[in-house]
Homo-oligomer: A and B are copies of this chain.
Amino acid sequence: MDRLTIVKVGGKVVEEPELLDRLLDDFVRVTGYKMLVHGGGKAATQIADRLGLETKMVDGRRITDADMLEVVTMVYGGLVNKRVVAGLQSRNVNALGLSGADLDLIRARKRPVEDIDYGFVGDVENINTRELRLLLRENVVPVVAPLTHNGKGLILNTNADTIAAHMAIDLANHFKVFLFYCFEKRGVLSDPLDDNSVLPELNESEFLRLQNLGTISSGMIPKLQNGFKALHSGVSEVLVTNPENFSRGRGTRLLRG
């Protein structure tokens, strides 16, 4: 099978022009088919703030009321996505920006209200990569914003790590998929206070142990849960790394079993 590299990059990296430039310079050097999944939370918070809207987060997840849904639709689907696309086009990469509504790529269900009402947040229900695969074969590079739709006209806000995992799992039926989660640190740390304590490898039982110890916490937990799910569902390799190191394959490699 052909190789497909999926790079997920967090908010900060795509929001600061210098960091974005460096990321894209590295990304264009990735050989084989490739795609990018991006966040944009920091820019969304900034724009919300300028619009006089308060950003409420619970466990690192954004509460998305109707006004905030407008903001994330604008910022993720417009501002951030088109900047990345234009940046790739300037590097002769034929990028195509997509939300989950485009090409019916990602259908989601509005999260049911339990203890917390997350508002217009979508849990992924279905992935359709038919047209996306056709485009990949034409050397188009998809750039996916963390937005989904419910098939009834409603856009929903969905975590970018989750989207990257679902896309990777679906595309693993057609490609040998390498999934890179890029964030601020060089990998998963064995000591949260020491940025150099990067674990070269991590399996799921060790992850659960470190989670119980509190060594791994907050936003890293869903990222790793998504990563292990992908690894157990046909994805060839999952690496947690940062934008400076992903192209060298350095970081924390998730291990099966």
User: How many copies of this chain does the complex contain?
Assistant: 2
A130-164 toward B: CB 8 Å interface, digit per residue (1/0)?
01001100101000000101011111000000000
- Within the complex, which residue of B79, B89, B99, B155 is in contact with A101, where a contact is CB–CB below 8 Å? B89
- Within the complex, which residue of B52, B83, B131 is in contact with A135, where a contact is CB–CB below 8 Å? B131
CA distance A135 to B130 in the complex (A): 11
A241: interface (CB < 8 Å): no
- Within the complex, which residue of B50, B82, B83, B103 is in contact with A94, where a contact is CB–CB below 8 Å? B103
CA distance A99 to B95 in the complex (A): 11
A76: interface (CB < 8 Å): yes
A121: interface (CB < 8 Å): no
- Report the minimal beta-carbon distance from A143 to chain B, rounded to whole angstroms: 9
A47: interface (CB < 8 Å): yes
CA distance A55 to B7 in the complex (A): 38
Q: By the criterion CB–CB under 8 Å, are B86 and A153 in contact?
A: yes
